[in-house]
């Protein structure tokens, strides 16, 4: 990305977007899309995790999206991804590049914090009106906004970010409410050694040959691919790790299958849809708990 070579039109565009984002951050009102979620949400025995904030319902990994997901109350855990900038600052972004979710292009890792603050997330048109371009947050900003108010899970996309992430979580006394997620068992072991909650995600292909019981000494939550076979999902459920969450689910049918097989958490891009479609879920949950106890 050529941040230093912006032409006059881009500079004007940035000024307009910055002003719009500032207005959205100072306004207490949520976007119109949140109106349907203002009724109280019933308690549920299932843990719902809003994947990237619930990216089918809000702009992914954005402060505005995470704030809306929190205020809607449709998930017990907010999920977001982390990357490192050139100067070592942990920021919130899934991809290694800016291309897909922002108006810019190029590697996240090439930016300084000053340059990061010039980037703007562009909400997808499918999300509807009411969302504004905004600056992507830093990890510190998300921890300060939501830490201690709701459980969080953050994926360390750059393994070398772990020391900085661990320090930030410990400084804020959030070690009991923030999971650190990774696909690497070796990094998960280090996360546990650092005194943090450990989440290990596995793909369906990996699950075919995994022996999850070997990781139960240092994993607090498995994050398993719902596309895995019934046998592979049950293998993780029976591993001895207390939390087994299925990802990334967007339909009630897939959710109910995961629950029947024993998963006790649902990572979803559509937490609002999952909660509105909870009819019969309580009985399904009780049934699978009963099956596990016999």
Please report the pLDDT score of residue 271 as a whole number.
Answer: 97
What is the distance between the alpha carbons of residues 145 and 176, in angstroms, rounded to a whole number?
17
- Residue-wise pLDDT for 48-74, tens only, equals 999 999 999 999 999 999 999 999 999
pTM (2 d.p.): 0.82
The answer to whether residue 254 is domain-embedded is yes
Q: Is the pLDDT of residue 30 over 80?
A: no
Residues of the domain holding 74:
3-28+39-292
Please report the pLDDT score of residue 292 as a whole number.
Answer: 28
The answer to whether residue 129 is domain-embedded is yes
Q: Is the pLDDT of residue 288 over 90?
A: no
Please report the pLDDT score of residue 25 as a whole number.
Answer: 38
- Residue 148 vs residues 92, 142, 162: alpha-carbon distances, Å: 19, 11, 20
* Residue that has been written with the tokens 């995600």 in this structure: 201
The answer to whether residue 33 is domain-embedded is no
The answer to whether residue 34 is domain-embedded is no
* Residue that has been written with the tokens 């942990």 in this structure: 90
Of the candidates 18, 154, 14, 35, the one whose C-alpha atom is nearest the C-alpha of residue 93 is: 154
With beta carbons less than 8 A apart as the criterion, state whether 72 and 37 touch: yes
- Residue-wise pLDDT for 96-110, tens only, equals 999 999 999 999 999
The answer to whether residue 174 is domain-embedded is yes
52-65: burial string, b at 16+ Cβ within 10 Å, e else: bbbbbbbbbbbbbb
Q: What are the tokens at 203? A: 């793909």
Alpha helices in 172-237 (DSSP H): 185-193, 204-207, 230-237
**3 state DSSP class of 111:** coil
Q: How confident is the model at residue 278 (pLDDT cuts 50, 70, 90)?
A: confident
What mean pLDDT, rounded, does the chain reach?
Answer: 85
DSSP state at residue 164: H
Q: Which has more confidence, 1 or 115?
A: 115
Instruction: Name the CA dihedral angle for 239, 175, 148, 173, rounded to a multiple of 10 degrees.
Output: 170
Q: How confident is the model at residue 279 (pLDDT cuts 50, 70, 90)?
A: low
Contacts of 183 (CB under 8 A, 6+ apart): 200, 201, 202, 203, 206
Q: Which has more confidence, 90 or 6?
A: 90
What is the distance between the alpha carbons of residues 187 and 117, in angstroms, rounded to a whole number?
29
- Residue-wise pLDDT for 199-221, tens only, equals 999 999 999 999 999 999 999 99
When pLDDT is averaged across residues 244-252 and rounded to a whole number, the result is 98
DSSP state at residue 266: E
Please report the pLDDT score of residue 5 as a whole number.
Answer: 40
Domain count, the chain: 1
The answer to whether residue 55 is domain-embedded is yes
Look up the CATH number of the domain holding residue 277.
3.20.20.190
């Amino acid at each position: 990305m050529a941040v230093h070579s912006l032409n006059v039109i881009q500079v004007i565009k940035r000024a307009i977007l910055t002003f719009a984002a500032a207005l959205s951050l100072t306004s207490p009102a949520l976007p119109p899309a949140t109106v349907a979620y203002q009724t109280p949400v019933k308690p549920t025995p299932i843990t719902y995790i809003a994947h990237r904030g619930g990216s089918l319902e809000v702009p992914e990994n954005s402060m505005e999206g995470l704030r809306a997901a929190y205020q809607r109350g449709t998930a017990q855990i907010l999920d977001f991804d982390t990357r490192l900038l050139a100067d070592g600052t942990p920021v919130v972004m899934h991809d290694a590049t800016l291309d897909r979710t922002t108006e810019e292009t190029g590697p996240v890792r090439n930016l300084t914090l000053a340059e990061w603050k010039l980037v703007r997330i562009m909400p997808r048109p499918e999300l509807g009106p009411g969302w504004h371009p905004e600056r992507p947050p830093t990890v510190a900003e998300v921890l300060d906004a939501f830490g201690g108010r709701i459980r969080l899970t953050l994926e360390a996309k750059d393994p070398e970010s772990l020391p900085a992430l661990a320090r930030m979580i410990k400084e804020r006394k959030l070690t009991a409410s923030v999971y650190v997620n990774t696909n690497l068992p070796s990094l998960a072991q280090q996360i546990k050694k650092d005194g943090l909650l450990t989440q290990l995600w596995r793909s369906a292909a990996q699950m075919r040959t995994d022996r999850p019981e070997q990781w139960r000494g240092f994993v607090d939550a498995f994050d398993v691919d719902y596309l895995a076979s019934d046998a592979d999902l049950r293998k993780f459920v029976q591993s001895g790790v207390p939390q087994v969450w299925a990802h990334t689910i967007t339909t009630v049918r897939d959710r109910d299958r995961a629950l029947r097989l024993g998963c006790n958490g649902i990572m979803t891009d559509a937490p609002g849809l999952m909660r509105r479609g909870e009819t019969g879920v309580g009985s399904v949950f009780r049934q699978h708990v009963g099956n596990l106890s016999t």
